[in-house]
Structures are given as C-alpha cells and as structure tokens.
Amino acid sequence: MPHTEAAGRMPALYVSHGAPPLADDPLWPGQLAAWSAELPRPTAVLVVSAHWEDAPVTLGATTTVPLVYDFWGFPEHYYRVRYPAPGAPDLAAKVRTLLGDAVHEAPDRGLDHGAYVPLVEMYPGADIPVLQLSMPTLDPVGLYELGRRLAPLRDEGVLILGSGFFTHNLREMTPGAAVDEAPNWSREFDEWGREAVAAGDVDALLNFRRTAPAADRAHPRIEHFAPLFVTLGAGEADLSSRRTVIDGFWYGLAKRSIQLG
C-alpha cells in the first residue's frame, strides 16, 4: 500500500531497532515495512537513538554524510549498507527554535545503526529527510520533557522516532532462539511493559527501575529503554491512542515497539 502524504499530526514511535542482522530475519523486516506502510508519509524523520548520548542536545546528519557503523565483528556485507537519506537542515532549525540556543551540531556525524537499521526496512527508498538528535541525559523525566518540547514538530508532518530495544542484555541474549522463546527475565519485563503501555501508566514506565520485574537484568544500562521516554513525551497528547504494533522476541530480547497517535 503506498504512503499517503502527511496530514494532521504524525504519530510518535518507539522502535526496537535490532542490530545489523535484523535485515536477514525472516519476520521482523516485514513487520517494520507493514507498520510504515500504515502511516502517513512523513515530511521528515527525527530519530533519537540509544547509540548516541551527547550533552547538550546535538544534531547530526544535517546533510547527507556516510553512516556510522558503530558495531564490531560482523560480516563485511553489513558494513557495505548505505542509506543516503536527504539531510534535514530545515528541521534542524525548527529543533533549535524549540529547544533554544543550547543545541550543538555535529554535521559530520552520520546516522548510527540505531537510526538506519530500522529506517532501511521502513523507508527503503531513503527519500525522506532524516535528522538524528542525541540524548543529552539518561534521566527518564528529563527525556520525557525533551519529547514534550519536540512534540509540536508532529503537527508539521515530522515522525518522531525513539529507537532502542525493549529488553537489552547482550551478555544473556540467546542467538538462534525462536520468535516465541525468551528467558524468564526478558519475558517478565516485557509482560510488565505490555501492561504498563496498555494502561497508559507513564509513571510506572518512567520509574521502571522500581516498578518493573527484572529491571536491572533487562537493562543493565538504561540507554536502550531511554528513547521510549522521548516518545512518551512527544506523544503525551495522544496517550489514549497508544498501542503495541510489534511484539515477540529476537535472540531472547523483547522487540516490543509502540505507537502513540
């Protein structure tokens, strides 16, 4: 189904982005493609990836520059992937207006794999301008507020996309696991997250270290859950229309992905 032009407010998304081998998965790329096909066509995409922390807020890829292959030990063909999406200098200017003078720029920093891996599947034509924005903190409330400040961009056709992984413990991932296989800690955290999202319980999500089972095991470090907080802030006005779009597991990690609006 072709994309329709963006009309009205774009949704805000949280995508579990996988790793470069996602492209070879028999199921997941099709799920991402089907999801994007249901959305209006964005005027631009603003990505907040788990793989870029920098303070103050910094904008990268304001023009088309080479990708950042921020992974090691993979077969060579994963380093030959290209995604020459147009830069988004106009969007960068709007972000600076919304966030104030403290915004820095890193124009030579390309999209990292948290940004381009899902976008290759969702928008393979690489014909939509993409801008990446750093996470200036891992504080859930601070990231939620950042999302709230960026929310007006949705009314201009901008797709705000937080890219992380719903559970992320690489030491305990299980390569070769089937889509419905997962260790108990990953399954318990994912089920808690499913219920919290279904209930619209933002407070529980922001305080997941205290409210979620197996939180420290599901996220030994917070950075892959943190983009969700930006999405929640950006989608605050549409919390009532929240929904999980993709669920299941990949190598035992929960790939739950969420849409607001």
Tell me which residue of 170, 96, 103 sits closest to 134, measured CA to CA: 103
For 254, the enclosing helix (H) or strand (E) is strand 253-254
Q: What residues form DSSP beta bridges with 253?
A: 250
The rounded percent of the chain whose pLDDT value lies above 90 is 82
Dihedral over alpha carbons 14, 15, 16, 18 (to 10 degrees):
-150
Tens digit of each residue's pLDDT (9 = 90 or more) over 106-159? 989 999 999 999 999 999 999 999 999 999 999 999 999 999 999 999 999 999
pTM, two decimal places? 0.94
Q: Quick one: pLDDT at residue 6? A: 54
For residue 31 the two structure tokens come to 């799920």
Q: Return d(Cα 194, Cα 146) in angstroms, integer.
A: 24
Architecture of domain 12-260 in CATH? 3-Layer(aba) Sandwich (3.40)
**Which of the two residues, 32 and 77, has the higher pLDDT score?**
32
Residue ranges covered by each domain of the chain: 12-260
Tens digit of each residue's pLDDT (9 = 90 or more) over 81-94? 999 999 999 999 99
Q: Return d(Cα 85, Cα 97) in angstroms, integer.
A: 23
**Average of per-residue pLDDT values in the chain:** 93
Q: What residues form DSSP beta bridges with 163?
A: 15, 49
Q: Quick one: pLDDT at residue 71? A: 86
Q: How many residues does the chain have?
A: 261
Say if residue 7's pLDDT is above 70.
no
For residue 89 the two structure tokens come to 């200098």
Say if residue 4's pLDDT is above 60.
no
Tens digit of each residue's pLDDT (9 = 90 or more) over 63-75? 889 999 988 788 8
Cis-peptide, bond into residue 124, ω within 30° of zero: no
Tens digit of each residue's pLDDT (9 = 90 or more) over 215-248? 999 999 999 999 999 999 999 999 999 999 999 9
